Structure 1
Amino acid sequence: MKLQRKNRLRATALGALAVSGALVLTACGSDDNTGGSTPGNGDKTTAASSIDCGKAKGQLRASGSSAQKNAMDLWVKNYMAACSGVEINYNSSSSGEGIVAFNQGTVGFAGSDSALKPEEVAESKKSCKTGQGINLPMVGGPIAIGYHLEGVDKLTLDAPTLAKIFDTKIKKWNDPAIAKLNEGVNLPDKAIQAFHRSEDSGTTQNLGKYLAAAAPNEWKYEAEKKWPAPGGQAASGSSGIAAQVKQVDGAIGYFELSYAKSQNISTVAVDNGGSAPAEATSENASKAIAAAKVKGTGKDLALELDYATKADGAYPLVLVTYEVVCDTGNKPETLDTVKSFLSYAASEDGQKILTDAGYAPIPAEINAKVRETINGLS
């Protein structure tokens, strides 16, 4: 047992070094993207004209949501290319782990696919000192239902059917409930292998919110970060589920659209009761997210989504992923970097690059409030 533990610790350390090294390499190679200029603090480069480095300096550590990893990779690459001497190190783990790290004071901000719970807000006051943790919606997008079924290129499912699949009540791909939604499709007599997250996950919680809202008779579980249903197979992170779905014929799982696009994984069209099934696209997710309302108070901008929408073309299985920061009481040594980096992520240019990666920008009215709140962090 001790040997296994040492090996795990060694692997974790090597993994952390690899991530840090990759970020340093990104920074070292960034000169090629600056049009020959030498960016410094306060510079706005030709590579990313909207980035104001301000007084940013040193290293900023953050961690959390794997759902926003691909968006974060884009932001970090552009930001580090523009801001010499600044290193952003985002550890893509899970929403739950990110919030724990934030409340322990070991990171400057956390990424989370779910807004802070009241008890998490209370816990955050220990690390925020004079303030508390708040939720800043930074990126939205569809939670894709990816599948691997040889010979089946298009597949439609609805919320009740998805609920039964992930609750292992539907076990075969040629089940009558699936066949009814896919007339003319030759569905194989093959066992369904449903994959879910092994760790606490905001993506899991958002899937649970959707199933509970759109299929309340079939999905009786509370929407929590921990997977609630029996059966199925577990994998770590969105990347882990995507890898399993990619490899296993008969598999189905859930992850952000960016993972499906990057690995060429087929995705389910969702029948939300509208005139036609909605494909998992950034545009269709934006139609659902556009109806989001701010439910947070004060500087907290937590959103309420309508998972049971029946609007034509609206892909209902969506998430909004947040950056969790202190409203006041941020660490002085990282405050300027947090504000500068998140200001870029929330900027027009920062939001514009999300669509091609499979994400959906935050609605403009809400995003304006995000930028205002970031500017007032202290």
Structure 2
Amino acid sequence: MKLSLPSRVGAVALAGVLAFSLTACGSDDPTGDSGATSGSTSGGSALKGELNGVGSSAQEKAMDAWRAGFQQANPDVTVNYDPQGSGAGRTQFIQGAADWAGSDSAMKPEELEQAKAACGSDAIDVPVYVSPIAVVFNLDGVTSLNLSSDTIAKIFAGKITKWDDEAIKADNPDAKLPSTAITPVHRADGSGTTKNFTDYLNKTASDVWTNEAADDWPLQGGESGTGTSGLIQAVQGGKGTIGYADESAAGTLGKVSIKVGDAFVAPTAEAAAIALDKSPRDTTRGANDIVVNVDRTTTEAGAYPLILVSYGIACSTYKDAAKADLVKGLLGYIVSSEGQQAAKAAAGSAPLPDALAADAKTAVESIKGA
């Protein structure tokens, strides 16, 4: 597997935006042997062409693995993905500047209406990636902490300003907490991770966090970083900093175990999967538009409800039949057992549960050309 020269996201994408294309060759693919993939035949792949996607930076590690595995089975296909953020992905998809989008929050009803113009058909949300959002921090001598949602909300609302605050000490009696000032860090760009994080705060600590869930950080001022990598860099570069990001990006930063019922639960794929299993579907959506309403208030043992369910957003019908085959092939690989295991290996995500995976496959199979 080797990395090609940067290529433009596409003639229809924003000028000057660059994305890297992975071109499969040899057996050093990070996902291993991808085998038969949607769109391939017994004599080799029938798919040819280029796909341009924009969106979630939380999906980036998984997307690298998905592109590699898909292109190994389909060597005449080039897949570009620009992790500008969920909000940018949905916007560019709606504008017709991306073939598909990755988003950590589903399309809003008004966005679905707007997407019809670009698609010439309904758009659909397909769950592709499930991961815990870690509350990460950089504090000398401390690598892990227990925090309730109420305390987390007060920290990000600026109501708790020192690391040795009594509320933090109460849940961490054995930690040596300094009097260092707390510096919260949020996403500077429109982000599905922010929407999931603020939804968690609003649903579990509404007396403190009165703002509704939103892609854009609702408070003025404060430290920020663009994209998952930008936020992580900001937390790493400061002292006493705290932020939120896909757990796969946490690296060596300290991570918070959040209070669920009477226990504190760490951000793991297994705990995320338990929370997902306890969350209902959005029954107001159309056929093959699959959205999960995450239950942030579950007290299920071992559940970690601060999760994101990330989606692949596509047209149900593409004006170009060849483009429809490419999108269908890529998303088909992503939601397959093989694709989900590739994401787990690369990003530590939780594979889709069997029932959700089956419905996601049905949704992908419904994609067609005009």
Structure 1 length-normalised TM: 0.88
1:320 aligns with 2:309: yes
1:31 maps to what in 2?
26
C-alpha deviation, 1:264, in angstroms: 2.0
C-alpha deviation, 1:331, in angstroms: 3.1
C-alpha distance in 1 between matches for 2:178 and 2:221: 21
C-alpha deviation, 1:88, in angstroms: 0.3
1:3 maps to what in 2?
none
User: Number of paired residues?
Assistant: 346
Which structure has the highest helix share of the two? 1
Out of 115-124 and 230-239, give the one that drifted further.
230-239
Q: Percent identity?
A: 36
1:279 aligns with 2:272: no
SS in 2 for 1:320: strand
2:278 maps to what in 1?
291
SS in 2 for 1:188: coil
SS in 1 for 2:66: helix
Amino acid at match of 1:111: G
1:6 maps to what in 2?
none
1:197 maps to what in 2?
187
SS in 2 for 1:31: coil
C-alpha deviation, 1:334, in angstroms: 1.2
Which structure has the highest strand share of the two? 2
Pick one of 113, 129, 147 that aligns with 1:139: 129
1:349 maps to what in 2?
338
1:150 maps to what in 2?
140
1:310 aligns with 2:299: yes
1:359 maps to what in 2?
349
C-alpha deviation, 1:50, in angstroms: 4.1
> Does the CA contact (< 8 Å) of 1:168 and 1:231 recur in 2?
no
1:332 aligns with 2:321: yes
Structure 1: unaligned runs, 5 residues or longer: 1-11, 35-44
Out of 244-253 and 84-93, give the one that drifted further.
244-253
SS in 2 for 1:96: helix
> Does the CA contact (< 8 Å) of 1:112 and 1:202 recur in 2?
yes
> Does the CA contact (< 8 Å) of 2:59 and 2:102 recur in 1?
yes
Deviations 1:184-218 (A, max 9, x none): 21100001111101111111000111111111111
Task: Decide whether aligned partners of structure 1 residues 61 and 15 sit closer, same or farther in structure 2, where only a CA change above 3 A counts.
Answer: closer
SS in 2 for 1:32: coil
Aligned residue runs from structure 1 range 158-307, under 5 A: 158-260=148-250, 263-274=251-262, 276-295=263-282, 296-307=285-296
Deviations 1:263-297 (A, max 9, x none): 322211111223x2100111111110112222133
2:34 maps to what in 1?
48
Out of 242-251 and 316-325, give the one that drifted further.
242-251
After superposing on structure 2, the runs of 4+ consecutive aligned residues of structure 1 that deviate more than 4 Å are 12-15
> Does the CA contact (< 8 Å) of 1:166 and 1:229 recur in 2?
no
SS in 2 for 1:208: helix
Amino acid at match of 1:31: G
Structure 2 length-normalised TM: 0.90
C-alpha distance in 2 between matches for 1:321 and 1:290: 15
1:95 maps to what in 2?
86
1:5 maps to what in 2?
none
Task: Decide whether aligned partners of structure 1 residues 312 and 70 sit closer, same or farther in structure 2, where only a CA change above 3 A counts.
Answer: same
Structure 2: unaligned runs, 5 residues or longer: 1-13, 41-45
SS in 2 for 1:184: coil
> Does the CA contact (< 8 Å) of 2:142 and 2:176 recur in 1?
yes
> Does the CA contact (< 8 Å) of 1:278 and 1:314 recur in 2?
yes
